[in-house]
Structure 1
Amino acid sequence: MEISLLVLLFIPYLIIKYLVTDHDTPAEKDTKRFREGIELVAQQQYEEAFRYFDEQVKKYPKSAVAYAWRGKCNLRDENYFSALYDLAQALSYDNTLAAAYLDKGQAHLALREYQDAFREFDKAVWFYRDNNADALRLRGLARLRMKQLSQSERDLRRAVELGDENARHVLSQAPFYIHDLAKK
C-alpha cells in the first residue's frame, strides 16, 4: 500500500519535472544567447559581427555556435584559412551543425580544394536530409569540378526541384546538359 502511494505521488513529480526542465540543446541555447551577433550578420554588418563573435569565442571557448558564426564572417571576408579553422573548431564541438559543413565546403571550394569541398557539402546534404537546395547545388558544383558529370547533374536537378534558380542556370551551361541536347 505504501509503495503504491509512493509510486502514485512520484509520477506527477516526474511529469512536472519534465515540463519545467529546459530541453534546448547547447546549440539552441547558444543561438539564443548570440542573437545580437546573428542579427548583425543578417543586416550584413560583417565587421561588427566578426568583432562580436570574436569576443564570444573568448568568453565561451567551447561554443560551436560562436566559432561557426565567426567562421561565417571570415568566409564572407574571404579569410578562407581562418574560416576553415573556425569551422573545424565548431564541428569539433558539435558535429551536427549543417550550416558549418556548408560554409566549410565553400571555403574549400574557394581554395580550389574540390575533393575536400565535396566531402563537406556531402555532409551538409546529409544533415539537411537532402532538402537544402544550396547544399545540393554546391555539392553538384564540386562534383562538376571533379568531372563527376552524371552525379553533378543529379544534384543540380534536385536543387532545381527545390526551387534553386542558380542550379537551373548551371545546368544550362554545364557540359552534360549540352550532351543531352545533342542526343535529342
Structure 2
Amino acid sequence: MLELLVVATFFGYIYYLRNYADLRSKSEKEEAEFSPGVEMYKSGRFDEAYAYFDKKVQNRPKSCIAFLYRGLTQKGRGNVSEAFDDIQTAVSLDDEAYKAHLEFGKLYMDTHDYETALSKFNKAIVKAEETSPQSYQWRGQAYLKLGRETEAQEDFATEKRLIEQSGNRDATSQVKAPFVDKKLIVSMVMIVFTSVLIILGVKDAESVHLPYLVAVFCAIAIGFVEPHKGWLLALMQCVLVLSGYFLFTTQPETSGSRELENFSLYGSVILTFVASFLGGFMKRALNMQ
C-alpha cells in the first residue's frame, strides 16, 4: 500500500507540473514546441518552414499553431489563397489565439478589405487582453484607411503605452517576481504529505530500501516542480521528517530496530537533498532542449 502511495504521489507531482504549474495557453505551448519551424519562418526560409509545418499539420491536425504558421509560410511564398485557408482553420481550432486573429486581419489588409480587417483586429485585441501592442498598431492602420483618424491615434497611443509598460516589466521582472508564489505554496502543502510517507516508510520497513525509495521519488519530484526553489522544499521536508519522527512516533525497544530506523531516517534526509538536486538538474536539462 505504501509503495502505491509513493508512486501516486510522484506522478501526481508530474501531472501538476504539466497541467497546472505551466500557466501558458495551449497555443503558447505549441509555439514554443514548434520553435525550430518558427525560427525558419522568421528568418525568411519559407520553403523549409512550410515543409516543417506541413508535416506538423499532418501529424497534429488539431493544432492551431501548426496551421497558423503553415499559412504564414504560404503567404511568404506568395500563395495567398492557401494562406487564407490555413489561417482561417487556425482561428477555428483555437478562437483564443489572438495571433491567429491578428494575422487573419493582416491578410484582409493586403486585399484592401479594411472593414473585415478591422473586425479581426478587434477580436485580436479582445483575446490578447492588452498584451499585444502590435494588435493596436494594426487596428490603428485599419482606422486610418477608413478615415477614422481620432480612433487611429488612440490606438497608436495605446500601442506606445503597452510597449513602455512591457519594457518596464522586463527591467524589473526579477525584482517584482515574488519568491513565495501560489505554485510554491501548493508544493509546500504537498511536502507535508510526502514527509508523512517517508516517516511511514521508516517505521514500517523491514530494510532501508523502502524508505530510501520513498525519499528519492519524493525528492526528484521536488526538483521537477521547483528546479530553482527545490532547496527550500527539500529543507522543509527534512525538518518535517525529523520533527515528525521524534515528536509523533514511538522509538523501538530493541537496539537493532532503533539502528535500522535511524539508518533509514538519516539516510532519507541525505537522499532528499541529493535527489532534489538531481530532479532540478533533469528539469533544467529538459527545458534547454
12-21 or 22-31, larger mean C-alpha shift: 12-21
The separation in 1 between residues aligned to 2:44 and 2:30, in whole angstroms, is 20
Q: Could you tell me which amino acid in structure 2 is paired with residue 46 of structure 1? A: F
Deviation at residue 14 of structure 1 after TM alignment: 8.1
TM-score (norm. length: structure 2): 0.48
Q: Partners of 2:163 and 2:28 in 1: how far apart?
A: 28
Q: Residues 18-70 of structure 1, C-alpha deviation per residue, up to 9 Å, x if partnerless?
A: 42112165434533442321221233212110111112212222211100111
What's the secondary structure of 1:61's corresponding residue? coil
1:80, 1:111 within 8 Å by CA — same for their partners in 2?
no
2 CA distance for matches of 1:78 and 1:99?
Answer: 20
Quick check: 2:27–2:64 contact (8 Å CA) kept in 1? Answer: yes
Q: Is the 8 A contact 1:136 1:156 kept in 2?
A: yes
Q: Tell me the residue number matched to 1:155.
A: 155
Deviates more, 1:95-104 or 1:41-50: 41-50
8 Å CA contact 1:38, 1:49 repeated in 2 = yes
Q: For structure 1, which segment, 144-153 or 29-38, has the greater mean C-alpha deviation from structure 2 after superposition?
A: 29-38
Instruction: Look up the match of 1:48.
Output: 48
Alignment partners' CA distance in 2, 1:158 and 1:20: 40
The one-letter code sitting in structure 1 at the alignment partner of 2:133 is: A
Aligned counterparts of 2:28 and 2:73: Cα–Cα separation in 1: 20
Aligned partner of 2:68 in structure 1 is: 68
Which SS does the other structure have where 1:82 is aligned? helix
CA pair 56-154 structure 1, distance change in 2 beyond 3 A: same
CA RMSD for the aligned pairs? Answer: 2.6
Query: Structure 1, residues 62-109: CA drift from partner, whole Å, max 9, x if none?
Result: 211100111121233343322221111111111111111111111000
| Alignment of 1:145 onto 2:145 | yes
Which amino acid is the alignment partner of residue 47 of structure 2? E
Matching residue's letter, 1:128? A
| Equivalent residues of 2:130, 2:162 under 8 A apart | no
- Residue in 2 that maps onto 1:125: 125
Q: Which is bigger in relative contact order (C-alpha 8 A, separation at least 6)?
A: 2
Q: Which residue number corresponds to residue 19 of structure 1?
A: 13
TM-score (norm 1): 0.72
Label 1:149 to 1:14 Cα distance change in 2 as closer, same or farther (>3 A).
Answer: farther
- How far apart, in 2, do the equivalents of 1:15 and 1:120 lie? 45
1:153 shift after superposition: 1.6
Q: How does 1:68-107 map to 2 (within 5 A)?
A: 68-107=68-107
Q: Which blocks of at least 5 consecutive residues in structure 2 are unaligned?
A: 165-289
| Residue equivalent to 1:173 | none
Q: Flag the 1:88–1:155 CA change in 2: closer, same or farther, 3 A.
A: same
**Aligned in 2, Cα 1:37/1:144: closer, same or farther, shift over 3 Å?**
same
Tell me if the contact between 1:75 and 1:103 (Cα under 8 Å) persists in the aligned partners: no
How far 1:150 sits from its partner (Å)? Answer: 1.6
| Corresponding residue for residue 111 of structure 2 | 111
Distance verdict in 2 for CA 1:153–1:26, change over 3 Å: closer
Separation (CA, whole Å) in 1 of partners of 2:28 and 2:120 = 22
